[in-house]
Structure 1
């Protein structure tokens, strides 16, 4: 079971949850001394605010505020705020049980690969009916573990192996393509990884929840470390580049949720696992690369390698005839400048699909924001020496031009979404500890679940 959760209810304390408009009634129901104590603390039932409840034998329970909206994050700070190692159960009517279990489990997460010990989190007994929330938390935490792993521990081979292990656990298959086959079938991926002694790979995961279900294809950028290549990043920009495989981690989290939910779809997950390193064999600025689609791409900047990985994955996915195609990537700093770290940028060639995805994101409290595929910037990718460049030479609209580059590899009749994400929490917040984050995973899972209820997007530009 995940850290912070327990199957035992022995000696557990009650956790109450109240909104501001229900606070007076809640306090009135407490013993006079307990109610007076909570009033004295200034507790106002703001979201995430909490107070301990005294009893005749010491600690009798606790109350958490929900504010005016119901959010998993109201519960996310409790594992490390309530007494270490204490055990809790939700009081009847204490808010949404699924959100409580999700927020608690995500808030209890701590990276464990190279750091043991520390303060033990408070434990929650997941209420009945919260198995889906716990499953979601397990998938998100597994993705966090991948992103948080140092690049020395997680290279292309290890990332591909994670996809293989995931498929094996849930009745899927996973082929790993490397060597000469990769050079032939995924030439742009091979070019990006050529400079590293850790050879690139593409993992192709397949799973069938229903033989006649729609085919959903997910592509993840899995750059296990990005030096920038010969267009070397400065140290400050390279510091967190172990997270440049965050898109791959996110699609693997989605895959786990889809498979464990037994959704009636056919799932195709592609992970381009590479390291963008420097050596005498690394790709050079103004090299012209062959892609799986046949388009020739001039390398305007070796640090724009993620789109080169994705273009081959997208081409392969399109060949399979998907009903929906999504790629996830930590692709551009420009998206962060525009939207900050918490709002992944959504680009989509299909209005019906975009509407469904944004609605799912809102319902799952896993936000994103749509930006335009502006045709007027298409010519910015022109090259005098190849069919297109991997970057624009203009210092503007970098997230849009990156998305326009990817659009060259997706026919307009294939519903496609591109998610440009940060995949990292810069500081500790309730439910979102500092470190790797599987942004968009819960939203994508919700959208795929909606597809099984009759979602057939019509093509729109």
Structure 2
């Protein structure tokens, strides 16, 4: 059970009442007279996010009021209870009445207690929650712990989270669940036919590598996860401006979220054969860096002209996807922090996803909504595929023109997937720019919760 939860029998707990503007009169009527007078004197109205601790006669906290928005209201946030861990004094609490979605509220409470404390003291809030009736604290704890793993990996700066350190984190997770683990490092990538991964990472003194682990019964359906592991992205010779480089430690967010998803899958014991592939590189500037208009072979065979060295994520994913595709997985999923175009179209909170599997597309949308892990389907628009054509190679990694950048990236990756029975590509941001309830500023777990719910339904 996650550390945020505590058994109801361990010690007394303080009730939390969830208030909306429409139910405030009824909630207030159920309070003791002194508490009603205190709430009125404090000007409490139940507006969303409004918090009030009601004292007992001896000065302790006897009750907590917390405002929620009405279901269906503009800006309704099922994770609003995630603000509570930072508001509540130390103690044990319980939900006195069910919020709009009790499971999501309990998950938000757990997610909201996260602190990144590797480099300065940042103790998690000293609060505990009695698991609400009908809620499985183990299941919620599994998701919260995986989200913390993704956040920790992304929040760690690149000097301490390079390709080798990312491999160490993947190996630690693999060993925890008895998975088989291997890596291909440095020039061995060329020998083993991963030329694009090598090309992106060859300018760094930190050797590129392909990380791989496998778990589960080989007889079960094959699900393969591929995560972009660019541990820092300078943009290469097409150098990013300094402002765009400030959070490029998050460019391995696809790998971090793949590891979070793998952790959930293995901890839950889903009935699938899991394979995880992470191309881990640092896109650096040096005399041997790949150049604009260089041409490289790919694992699959097509030659790739480098239209822009800052479109490196799709290059490393291309080799990894081709490798994954060779064993014809039942479901192939890739996650990556890939395009600014996706952010322009949908912002940081709403990653686009791509698939030609209509049943999968509907399932993703349904679970994304149910898990409050927003995703939005975008089209693999065939008429744009010709934009990737090169006059001197099979394909260009970054066609000129600037239109539909997230779509053309997805179409580029689609060229390297043929045999997989179903393929899902998600262009995540992996970062919360401004703190929200249950989502502190910094690295974020995106898409992994929705995909885990989908896989649990199919293979649980």
Closer, same or farther in 2 for the Cα pair 1:119/1:358, shift >3 Å? Answer: closer
Match of 2:70 in 1: 68
Match of 1:111 in 2: 116
Deviation at 1:266, TM superposition (A): 1.0
Mapped to 1, the partners of 2:239 and 2:99 lie a distance apart of: 52
The SS at the match of 1:158 is helix
Structure 1, gaps ≥5 residues long? 454-461
Mapped to 2, the partners of 1:55 and 1:152 lie a distance apart of: 51
1:90 to 81, 86, 95: 95
Match of 2:155 in 1: 148
Closer, same or farther in 2 for the Cα pair 1:3/1:429, shift >3 Å? Answer: farther
Q: Could you report, residue by residue, the CA deviation over 1:179-227 in whole angstroms, capped at 9, with x for unpaired residues? A: 343222321111110000000111112111x443211111100000000
Match of 2:52 in 1: 51
The SS at the match of 1:77 is helix
Closer, same or farther in 2 for the Cα pair 1:446/1:119, shift >3 Å? Answer: closer
User: Does residue 100 of the first structure (1) align with residue 105 of the second (2)?
Assistant: yes
Q: Could you report, residue by residue, the CA deviation over 1:29-53 in whole angstroms, capped at 9, with x for unpaired residues? A: 2111212322444444444332212
Match of 2:382 in 1: 375
Match of 1:199 in 2: 207
Say how many residue pairs are matched. Answer: 451
Q: Could you report, residue by residue, the CA deviation over 1:242-280 in whole angstroms, capped at 9, with x for unpaired residues? A: 000001001111000111111111111111110000111
CA contact (8 A) 1:286 1:300 kept: yes
Closer, same or farther in 2 for the Cα pair 1:318/1:118, shift >3 Å? Answer: closer
Matches for 1:196-345 after TM superposition, within 5 Å: 196-208=204-216, 210-345=217-352
Structure 2, gaps ≥5 residues long? none
User: Does residue 79 of the first structure (1) align with residue 101 of the second (2)?
Assistant: no
Mapped to 1, the partners of 2:218 and 2:421 lie a distance apart of: 20
| TM-score under structure 2 length normalisation | 0.93
Q: Could you say what the CA RMSD is over the residues aligned between the two structures, in angstroms? A: 2.1
Deviation at 1:3, TM superposition (A): 6.7
Mapped to 2, the partners of 1:95 and 1:10 lie a distance apart of: 27
CA contact (8 A) 1:214 1:265 kept: yes
Deviation at 1:287, TM superposition (A): 1.0
Mapped to 2, the partners of 1:407 and 1:392 lie a distance apart of: 15
Mapped to 1, the partners of 2:311 and 2:37 lie a distance apart of: 60
Bigger mean CA deviation after superposition, 59-68 or 317-326: 59-68
Mapped to 2, the partners of 1:373 and 1:96 lie a distance apart of: 34
